[in-house]
Structure 1
Amino acid sequence: MNTKPPAMPRSTHACLLLAGSASCALLAAAAAAHAQTADDVVDLGTIFIDSVAGSTDGETIVVNQVSSGSGLPNDILESSASISVVTSKEIEDRGAETTEEVLQYTSGVATDYYGRDDRFDYFKIRGYDAYTYRDGLFIGENFGGVREEPFAFDRVEVLKGANSTAFGVADPGGAVNFITKSPTGERLRYVYGTVGSFERKEVGFDLGDNFGDSAFSWRLTGKAKDAEAETDDSNDDEGFLLGGLAWRPSDATTISLVYDKLYRDGYPNSSGYPANGDAFDRDLFLGEPGFNYLDTDRDTLTLKVEHEFGGGLEFGSTARWTDGTGGFGYVFLGATTSETDVSRFYFANDAAFENFVGDAHLLYRADLGGMQSRTLAGVEYRDNHRDNVLWYTPADDIDFTDPTYTGGLDLDETTPFQSTTNDTQVASVYLQQEVAWDRVIAQVGLRHDRIDAEQTDNLSGVETEGAFDETTARAGLTYRLTPNLSLYGSYAESAVPASAFGVEPERGKQLEAGVKYRPDAMRALFTASVYDLRKFNQTVTDADTLLPETIGESQVRGIDLEAKAELTDGLSVIAAYSYLDSEIVESDNGTNNGNSLGSVPRHSGALWIGYAVPGRGAIGDVDLGLGARYIGEYWTSDANIDEIESSWIVDAALGYGLTDTTEMRLNVSNLLDEQHVAQKGFSANYYNPGREVALTLSHTW
């Protein structure tokens, strides 16, 4: 079968290259739709459609099917939600090493607003902190959670907008769903080695196969990294291992078991730089070498069962157990106390957690005489336990012109300022219904969550309990104007437990409308959406005090444009633009009413162009990549006092095929070494990450 797409008219190439976004292609799509006749029929019988037969997430930057959205697996044109997918190929092409880097070229997502702080994955979706999920199961909030390893995933799906009916607990801005690498039954052989900036040395592998002619298959994925960090006296080491087994006794049944371990020995923070107007070198370290660590040790076991009974009835169940420890300790800066001295504070965290989450559901497909129906009904149970200790105490001042270190802090001899044990149980029941007829797809969803929480203050012995029931709904309508163009509108709700007991849960609502276009002439997807979302009973973390404060009600109205296109066999484009108008509608004390939300840029955009030159004779294939990211001005906090200036960051990549199976690749993030203040807190400044170079040699067989 010839999978090469037909050639496009030159005008189409020019339009796409000049636009750098979805708008030009959408205008072309509208013109094409106008030319359709009344006899055109959209076939909705096949839910999953690959633009190129046999394509996988490792071979393309464009996907056509998603597991996020309504909770039902969908052709992306038939989902009444805005969903962006970052495939493993895109992750590899751009050399993305963290979740923040994975999401940097996605519309509606803001990253890097905490600068070179590696404690957590810092990103916002449509102006709000986001929760993360793995294979549809809850992980937690990105702020305060474990930094995930992108090499563990085949793809990363970004669901934009309120949608608690699909996942449960979720903020109104959106959620990130990681899709784990698992045994496929196909032969997979991939190894790589990387050297780079800050004495980075890394090796990794992704292997898989079937056990002979049996019904069993396996997959083994891992990496080990030994590196320093951009700031002096800082480590950036990691070990990761994932092993999976799958049993497919028939075409109707799949049972898989995946275990993975993540270990990090990194550094938490640059400690900050004095806010005296000077630009300091990024490697300047003003903390304490003996008290500068970020530890993660996590084990995860996932069991997945899928079975088709026949007659349109399918069963699916996933259960995941997680056990781990984590913590950090570092010294951060306060205000300057003289012309050359700056105050400092010790800050440390120690945590242990054990979580279980399980989901079971039934999916029923039926033909209702001209209408196709899909009904998904399921239950979910989650049990989370966490012990958390925090230390905070002043440290000696330091001379930033001639640093002299005084030693670390013995936590065993220091009284913590907070020590808590939290236990949370969540029991949920949900129902999703989809009906498709002719060109129309209607989706509705309903979910009820019962959350019971208990917190013990280990310092005072006080126990506090809380419980709430929350029902959320979602409704969406999609119209397939042509087989390649769809229009959609949706209403969605969200709910998040409050950060403090006795406070009403945070709730969100969103209205959204959008258009999606997938041309026949090439492998591509162009999307545009407009939305209006609100969050009620909102609690945020103040960037200066690191303490929670209640806003009350906020609103974000915006536009997202995104394009992912493989224009020819050698030319690909990723483009994104977002406009977010955020406002604090009502705050508790009224002082911030009318202000914008902190760390939310009004304008942001990104463009990545990839160009491959086929090899000739002794010269191998050459793969070029160049990207630019724009982050507009944003306030450091909801008080709207300090503003961060806009910035441009340029990234680049160069790949060279030594043989058909061996490639050398050079990735450079922040090519021009742009330096700017990304965040301010406690009178200190925090810079964006500097230039980082990585040279990778990979081999497949």
Structure 2
Amino acid sequence: MNAFLAAPTRHTILLSGCAVLALLSAPVHALEGASVSLGTIFIDTARDGSDDDETIVADQVTSGSGLPSDIMDSSASISVITSKEIAQRGAQTTEQILQYSAGISTDYYGRDDRYDYFKIRGYDATTYRDGMLIGDAFGGVREEPFAFDRVEVLKGANSTSFGVGDPGGAVNFITKSPTGERLRQIYGTVGSFNHKELGFDLGDTFAGNSDLSWRLTGKMQDSEAETDESTDDETFIMGGLAWRPSDRTTVSLVYDYLYRDGYPNSSGYPATGDDFDRDLFLGEPDFNYLDTDRHTLTFKLEHDFGNGLEFGSTARYTKGTGGFGYVFLGAVTSEEDETVSRYYFANDADFENFVVDAHLLYETTFGTLSSRTMGGVEYRDNHRENTLWYTRAADIRWSDPVYTGGLDLDATAPYQDTTTDTQVASFYLQQEFAWDRLIVQGGLRRDWIDNSITDNLTDVTTEADDVEDTLRLGLTYRINPNLSLFGSYAESVVPASLGEEPERGKQYEVGVKYRPDGFRGLLTASVYDLTKYNETVTNADTLLDEVRGESRVRGIDLEAKAELTEQFSFTAAYTYLESEILESDNGSNNGNELGSTPQHSGSIWTNYVMPGQGSLGDLNLGLGVRYTGEYWRSDANTGKTDAAWLWDAAIGYDIAENTQMRLNVTNLLDEKHIAQGGYSTDYYNAGREISLTLNHSW
């Protein structure tokens, strides 16, 4: 604990945060004595979670214990990024949405855009959509943030609540769906690297007081990328219908389609110590693609029987293809000739997933004791065929690159071709008792996991069956309406490669939450100890599993979100982690820290609205800073990435009523560092990007 309190970097972060606050509060002091009103203190009493577009401070959460609840009552650390906060920061990717939250590290693979790269409390995160499993962020499809109303982050093990997942935590995306209210929004964006984008979000009922409503959301993006010979195009469309025959019943159907035509990797830069231009491309123009083509259909039914009994069910079917092909660098072959070796690497995948969940929620009271009970079943059927190619490419001269052509996959033998089928049947039970100021939460889950992998190169099938039980216990004590103490024990489980024991995790956590009366805000502090057993990790360069064994993370998370006035708001976060590999495959990494896991990280984003006068509209000013401490690039702890400070900024101006222009800049000072290195190759962090958006609603 002394190490936590003595960390000098934290003091640096806090001092910097104070400087940012002072900078953005300067307009307030400038207005002293003038006739401009700075607004009244914001006090909100409607804590129903329905105003995510009006506030950055959420009160309700669907994660936590698995039961929807007030965040103050949940015995877990939770970060909610509302639609207003996403818009304030102009976040365009999942990583950008998450990078101002405590306990989360992002951007540790630089400009590798194959996946969403983020870890929670030192471990790869599991992603969910409306509480139903999507899969690992690493190795999965990059989600489109415009599809979601909010993003909930549950820190720590959560298999009892949602099913299989890593112990560090989970990200739950909440889908935009028909609300029955009129919604009209369109926007256009231009920006760096010839970025052009159009989007819309429309909704309404079919007639005046009709019980049928609809919503249509989409975006089209045409863009190049920071690295030469790279594109970043996307088409996304989502349509939903909802039927509400009464105030007790809702039936909805949502279809969405995601197509990406992007680039997988910057190809890297020779590890010579030289400072290369970010746009230098040493791959092959004819072999540099990242394709995603995914269809998703979701059906949802909710019914309130009255007398405290509610039923809910969701079914989701997903089908798609994905893959990438690129050339990455190997070792330098000649310093004198400035040449470096290269390798073709490609992946092709077909996937089909089905998941259905059904549950009952019963709420009742026994005198002064309140009870909520949720019991449910879930079934998942996942199918995936995955093919990998890897072969030598011609060397290239980095000072004067000459491209030699792509790779014909049809004429090249893959080094891996597998078909994986996984079926998981689950039963879960969540229970909550509340008496006076004390809230007790518990959960049990059993997963029956059937897994088979067929090696299509040898026609050999391997099968395994597992039955896994997970437990969660939590306790919250409301000291007063504004202050909560909480503690919990939680377990996690993830099926590993066949032949390996399932990965299991456990976490102990204690913390405190404070929600003030004088302004809308939420402050959370927690201390945790989590361990993962039978651990298998996926190598990002080869996509092959490697056994790590056992590891542990201990840490502190501090997070604050506040709207001090109607004009001024901020979010701040700090994390300290101590990670250790307890057991590795051959013992060579025992005692090392986890790769891509900084000990210190922190951030602060401030937002100030300068009210307009007369014909002048409101001016919205945002400024943020992110700090990532140094970290080892791999579990071997043979090379470190330097600590870095990155600044982001946003300026918005209300041109007219319901029309706003917004300028966003990420990495404002164009700070440059090696985010990841390995196999004699370096990868830089993303450079400065500027975007200008015109948004209109009516």
Q: Give the alignment's TM-score, normalised by structure 2.
A: 0.93
The DSSP-based 3-state class of the residue aligned with 2:85 is: helix
Q: Encode CA deviations 1:403-427: one digit per residue, 9 max, x unaligned.
A: 0000101111110111011110000
Q: 1:71 aligns with which of 66, 73, 78?
A: 66
Q: Do 2:49 and 2:61's aligned partners in 1 also have CA atoms closer than 8 Å?
A: no
2:104 corresponds to:
109
1:535 corresponds to:
532
Instruction: Please state how far the C-alpha of 1:60 moved relative to its aligned partner.
Output: 1.1
- What aligned pairs does 1:202-601 form with structure 2 within 5 A after superposition? 202-212=197-207, 213-339=209-335, 340-498=338-496, 500-542=497-539, 546-601=543-598
What CA distance in whole angstroms lies between the structure 1 residues aligned with 2:525 and 2:137? 26
What CA distance in whole angstroms lies between the structure 2 residues aligned with 1:666 and 1:311? 51
* 1:168 and 2:163 correspond: yes
Instruction: Please state how far the C-alpha of 1:19 moved relative to its aligned partner.
Output: 10
- What aligned pairs does 1:75-224 form with structure 2 within 5 A after superposition? 75-212=70-207, 213-224=209-220
2:3 corresponds to:
none
Instruction: Please state how far the C-alpha of 1:222 moved relative to its aligned partner.
Output: 0.3
1:625 corresponds to:
622
Q: Encode CA deviations 1:389-442: one digit per residue, 9 max, x unaligned.
A: 100000000000000000101111110111011110000000000000100000
What CA distance in whole angstroms lies between the structure 1 residues aligned with 2:540 and 2:644? 20
Q: Do 2:344 and 2:392's aligned partners in 1 also have CA atoms closer than 8 Å?
A: yes
The DSSP-based 3-state class of the residue aligned with 2:231 is: coil
What CA distance in whole angstroms lies between the structure 2 residues aligned with 1:269 and 1:150? 21
What CA distance in whole angstroms lies between the structure 1 residues aligned with 2:168 and 2:243? 38
What CA distance in whole angstroms lies between the structure 1 residues aligned with 2:239 and 2:344? 39
What CA distance in whole angstroms lies between the structure 1 residues aligned with 2:16 and 2:183? 35
What CA distance in whole angstroms lies between the structure 1 residues aligned with 2:506 and 2:322? 34
Q: Could you tell me which amino acid in structure 1 is paired with residue 381 of structure 2?
A: D
Instruction: Please state how far the C-alpha of 1:546 moved relative to its aligned partner.
Output: 4.9
Q: Do 2:48 and 2:59's aligned partners in 1 also have CA atoms closer than 8 Å?
A: no
Instruction: Please state how far the C-alpha of 1:545 moved relative to its aligned partner.
Output: 5.5
1:38 corresponds to:
none
Unpaired runs of 5+ residues, structure 2, are 1-13, 22-43
What CA distance in whole angstroms lies between the structure 1 residues aligned with 2:676 and 2:631? 10
Instruction: Please state how far the C-alpha of 1:542 moved relative to its aligned partner.
Output: 3.9
What CA distance in whole angstroms lies between the structure 2 residues aligned with 1:682 and 1:15? 38
The DSSP-based 3-state class of the residue aligned with 1:89 is: helix
Q: Do 2:49 and 2:60's aligned partners in 1 also have CA atoms closer than 8 Å?
A: no
1:672 corresponds to:
669
Instruction: Please state how far the C-alpha of 1:592 moved relative to its aligned partner.
Output: 1.0
The DSSP-based 3-state class of the residue aligned with 1:429 is: strand
What CA distance in whole angstroms lies between the structure 2 residues aligned with 1:79 and 1:251? 27
Q: Could you tell me which amino acid in structure 2 is paired with residue 257 of structure 1?
A: L
RMSD, matched Cα: 1.6
Moved over 6 A (4+): 14-17
Q: Do 1:299 and 1:322's aligned partners in 2 also have CA atoms closer than 8 Å?
A: yes
Q: Do 2:17 and 2:604's aligned partners in 1 also have CA atoms closer than 8 Å?
A: no
What CA distance in whole angstroms lies between the structure 2 residues aligned with 1:547 and 1:53? 45
What CA distance in whole angstroms lies between the structure 1 residues aligned with 2:592 and 2:322? 36
Q: Could you tell me which amino acid in structure 2 is paired with residue 269 of structure 1?
A: N
Q: 1:51 to 1:609 in 2, by over 3 A?
A: farther
What CA distance in whole angstroms lies between the structure 1 residues aligned with 2:49 and 2:594? 44
Q: Encode CA deviations 1:524-582: one digit per residue, 9 max, x unaligned.
A: 11000000000001112345665322121111000000001111001000100000000
Q: 1:543 to 1:389 in 2, by over 3 A?
A: closer
What CA distance in whole angstroms lies between the structure 1 residues aligned with 2:247 and 2:448? 36
Q: 1:410 to 1:324 in 2, by over 3 A?
A: same
Q: Do 1:630 and 1:647's aligned partners in 2 also have CA atoms closer than 8 Å?
A: yes
The DSSP-based 3-state class of the residue aligned with 2:95 is: helix
Instruction: Please state how far the C-alpha of 1:504 moved relative to its aligned partner.
Output: 0.5
Q: Do 1:543 and 1:636's aligned partners in 2 also have CA atoms closer than 8 Å?
A: no
What CA distance in whole angstroms lies between the structure 2 residues aligned with 1:54 and 1:462? 51
Q: Encode CA deviations 1:156-191: one digit per residue, 9 max, x unaligned.
A: 000100110001001000010000000111111110
Q: Do 1:355 and 1:385's aligned partners in 2 also have CA atoms closer than 8 Å?
A: yes
What CA distance in whole angstroms lies between the structure 1 residues aligned with 2:638 and 2:313? 49
Q: Do 2:563 and 2:569's aligned partners in 1 also have CA atoms closer than 8 Å?
A: yes
Q: Do 1:51 and 1:523's aligned partners in 2 also have CA atoms closer than 8 Å?
A: no
Q: 1:620 to 1:19 in 2, by over 3 A?
A: closer
The DSSP-based 3-state class of the residue aligned with 1:355 is: strand
Q: 1:132 to 1:619 in 2, by over 3 A?
A: same
Q: Encode CA deviations 1:649-686: one digit per residue, 9 max, x unaligned.
A: 10000000001210000000000001100001210000
What CA distance in whole angstroms lies between the structure 1 residues aligned with 2:63 and 2:463? 33
Q: Do 1:52 and 1:523's aligned partners in 2 also have CA atoms closer than 8 Å?
A: no
Q: Do 2:446 and 2:469's aligned partners in 1 also have CA atoms closer than 8 Å?
A: yes
Instruction: Please state how far the C-alpha of 1:612 moved relative to its aligned partner.
Output: 0.3
Q: 2:658 aligns with which of 661, 682, 701?
A: 661
What CA distance in whole angstroms lies between the structure 2 residues aligned with 1:697 and 1:477? 47
Q: Could you tell me which amino acid in structure 2 is paired with residue 280 of structure 1?
A: F
What CA distance in whole angstroms lies between the structure 1 residues aligned with 2:680 and 2:398? 14
The DSSP-based 3-state class of the residue aligned with 1:357 is: strand
What CA distance in whole angstroms lies between the structure 2 residues aligned with 1:145 and 1:52? 34
What CA distance in whole angstroms lies between the structure 2 residues aligned with 1:244 and 1:207? 10
2:26 corresponds to:
none
What CA distance in whole angstroms lies between the structure 1 residues aligned with 2:680 and 2:119? 24
What CA distance in whole angstroms lies between the structure 1 residues aligned with 2:355 and 2:539? 31
Q: 1:134 to 1:450 in 2, by over 3 A?
A: same
What CA distance in whole angstroms lies between the structure 2 residues aligned with 1:226 and 1:20? 35
Q: Do 2:20 and 2:606's aligned partners in 1 also have CA atoms closer than 8 Å?
A: no
Q: Could you tell me which amino acid in structure 2 is paired with residue 236 of structure 1?
A: D
Q: Do 1:246 and 1:256's aligned partners in 2 also have CA atoms closer than 8 Å?
A: yes
Q: Do 1:506 and 1:536's aligned partners in 2 also have CA atoms closer than 8 Å?
A: yes
Identity %: 71
Q: 1:377 to 1:222 in 2, by over 3 A?
A: same
The DSSP-based 3-state class of the residue aligned with 1:61 is: coil
Q: Do 1:51 and 1:64's aligned partners in 2 also have CA atoms closer than 8 Å?
A: no
1:645 corresponds to:
642
Instruction: Please state how far the C-alpha of 1:299 moved relative to its aligned partner.
Output: 0.4
